[in-house]
């Protein structure tokens, strides 16, 4: 028999502002709100200092149970643990609305939108990409962000907001919602670039 080793490429979502990974296609995800939002399923688990995970509700063996007494573990969301995300304690419901409509953010996000179009079509000039964005793409994207806000705001009591370890005010924010549909993270798509590893 001859064995072949096959390398699987993983695509990561990298915050355009901080350069940190926030998610990857190794996790189940789908695009919502006209592609403006990425929804990724997540799970709660218990994570120890040695990076092992014990999913909530699992029954460790007697051998594992002995070791567990000497290590500290913390209950976290798998994506929080994997991508070293930090809870963003300063963003409340009012802060979310302000962040989503802030002019500085909109200017920055417009540039990210242009960059994203050029990454998909390298032949697109700065002027042509900007014309597409100003010709309706940005307006449509803002409309979908508004729809996302209408979806998330009534559920705010079930929302937790995260960002990466750099805790940059301009960096992307990730929104956790635990509801009847399960546990999910929501990412604003254009705030990320993708890279294969």
Determine what percent of the chain is predicted with pLDDT higher than 90.
Answer: 74
pLDDT in tens, 127-144: 999 999 999 999 999 999
pLDDT in tens, 110-121: 999 999 999 999
Instruction: Summarize the confidence of residues 27-34 as an average pLDDT.
Output: 94
What are the tokens at 32?
């919502």
Q: Read out DSSP for 35-74?
A: GTEEEEE--EEEEETTS-EEETT----HHHHHHHTTS-EE
Nearest to 180 by CA among 158, 195, 160, 152: 158
| Tens of pLDDT, residues 36-89 | 999 999 999 998 756 555 555 555 554 454 444 556 889 999 999 999 999 999
Name the maximum alpha-carbon separation found in the chain. 64
Is residue 152 over pLDDT 90?
A: yes
How far apart (Å, rounded) are the C-alpha atoms in residues 189 and 37? 5
Q: What is the pLDDT of residue 2?
A: 52
């Amino acid at each position: 028999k001859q064995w072949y080793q096959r390398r699987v490429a993983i695509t990561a979502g990298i915050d355009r502002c901080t350069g940190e990974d926030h998610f990857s296609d190794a996790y189940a995800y789908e695009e919502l709100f006209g592609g403006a939002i990425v929804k990724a399923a997540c799970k709660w688990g218990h994570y120890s200092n040695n990076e092992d995970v014990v999913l909530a509700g699992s029954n460790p063996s007697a051998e594992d149970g002995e070791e567990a007494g000497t290590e500290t573990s913390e209950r976290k969301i798998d994506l929080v643990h994997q991508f070293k995300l930090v809870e963003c304690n300063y963003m409340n419901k009012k802060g979310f609305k302000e962040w989503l409509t802030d002019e500085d953010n909109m200017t920055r996000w417009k540039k990210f939108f242009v960059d994203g179009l050029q990454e998909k079509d390298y032949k697109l000039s700065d002027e042509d990409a900007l014309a597409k964005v100003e010709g309706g793409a940005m307006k449509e994207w803002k409309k979908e962000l508004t729809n996302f806000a209408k979806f998330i705001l009534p559920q705010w009591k079930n929302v937790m907001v995260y960002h990466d370890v750099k805790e940059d005010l301009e960096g992307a924010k990730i929104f956790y919602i635990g509801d009847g549909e399960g546990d999910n993270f929501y990412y604003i798509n254009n705030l990320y670039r993708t890279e294969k590893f």
